[in-house]
């Protein structure tokens, strides 16, 4: 987070709820892995978003539906 502030980052990629709350408390823009995957799919960089999300869940990644 310090580096994001120092470098005036456009956003932080964070999935951990506690880290997201801390970043948001500092008014830092946050994006998660799933949002990045959605954007990649929209731009045509990811062929099968649904399958990717299934595989993430199978690997133990947790996220809301």
Q: What is the mean pLDDT of residues 44-65?
A: 94
User: Could you please report the per-residue DSSP string of the chain?
Assistant: -HHHHHTT-S-EE---HHHHHHHHHTT--EE-HHHHHHHHHHTTS-S-HHHHHHHHHHTT-----
pLDDT of the residue at 18: 95
Residue 53 has pLDDT above 80, yes or no: yes
> Do 1 and 12 meet the contact criterion of CB atoms below 8 Å apart?
yes
Q: Full-prediction pTM beyond 0.75?
A: yes
Q: For 3-50, how does the pLDDT look when each residue is reduced to its tens digit (9 = 90+)?
A: 998 999 999 999 999 999 999 999 999 999 999 999 999 999 999 999
Give the model's confidence band at 64: pLDDT under 50 very low, under 70 low, under 90 confident, else very high.
confident
Residue 35 to residue 13: CA distance in whole angstroms: 10
> Do 24 and 30 meet the contact criterion of CB atoms below 8 Å apart?
yes
């Amino acid at each position: 987070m310090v580096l994001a502030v120092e470098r005036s980052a456009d956003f932080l990629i964070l999935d951990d709820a506690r880290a997201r709350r801390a970043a948001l408390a500092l008014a830092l823009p946050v994006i998660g892995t799933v949002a990045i995957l959605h954007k990649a799919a929209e731009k045509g960089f990811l062929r099968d978003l649904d399958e990717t999300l299934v595989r993430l869940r199978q690997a133990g990644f947790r996220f809301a539906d």
